[in-house]
Amino acid sequence: MQYRTLGSTGLKVSVVGIGTWQFGGEWGKAFAQDEVDAMFARGHELGLNLIDTAECYGDHLSEQLIGKAIEGKRDQWILATKFGHKFHGPFDRTDPRKPTDVLEQLKESLKALRTDHVDLLQYHSWGDDQFFDQDVLATLLKAKDEGLFRFLGNSVANNGNVKQITASQKMQIEAIQIIYNRLDRKPEEEVFAVCKQQNLGVLARVPLASGFLSGKYKPG
């Protein structure tokens, strides 16, 4: 396994991470705990150390499965989660965006993950008006000072949203997550240059195009 430093965070992350949207039950399969346990055990054997999840992958369901799988082994993993959407059912979400909502979601995530902190807490696909809310940022920075998370990130909704990414240092963002794969290379046009200028860590989201590039599909 190869490792890279995630921007200015200093975190040494494996170049392959474990994405966990599928654990939320929206993709035609309900995962049993023993299946998830086996995935993380094998991932650790292969040298993976990065987990990415979110609050709305099944109303903290993904986080609950992860929390049980890595309980007692928390120090082996770099744990990233997100905030900003409320799960109601498959592909049915609302967007709680008040500072109190953000703090409540973070605490629920920590409870589900069975940990006292996450390594990377990320805005989850917010629009510009919500992303630049200074009251939300103030709440986040207070939670960071209290040790509830180590670094702040932004999982960007629009693949070409240079406005948010350019403002990363101002918003105290140290890593971004963006769609990037062999079928969608838009970040190469401008986004990656901005990331390099600000020493931002970059997590490639849907690197296999939601399974399309995995080799499991055949023509027709």
Q: What is the DSSP letter of 190?
A: T
**Catalytic residue selected from 3, 57, 123, 180:** 57
118-171 confidence digits (pLDDT tens): 999 999 999 999 999 999 999 999 999 999 999 999 999 988 899 999 999 999
pLDDT value for 97:
66
Q: Which residues pair with 153 in a beta bridge?
A: 122, 175
Query: Does residue 57 have an active-site annotation?
Result: yes
- β-strands 3-5, 78-83 pairing: unpaired
Architecture of domain 3-205: Alpha-Beta Barrel (3.20)
pLDDT average, residue stretch 57-70: 96
8-41 confidence digits (pLDDT tens): 999 999 999 999 999 999 888 999 999 999 999 9
Query: Where does the pLDDT of residue 96 fall: very low under 50, low under 70, confident under 90, or very high at 90 and above?
Result: low
Q: Angle CA(83)–CA(58)–CA(126) in degrees, nearest 5? A: 30
pTM score, two decimals? 0.95
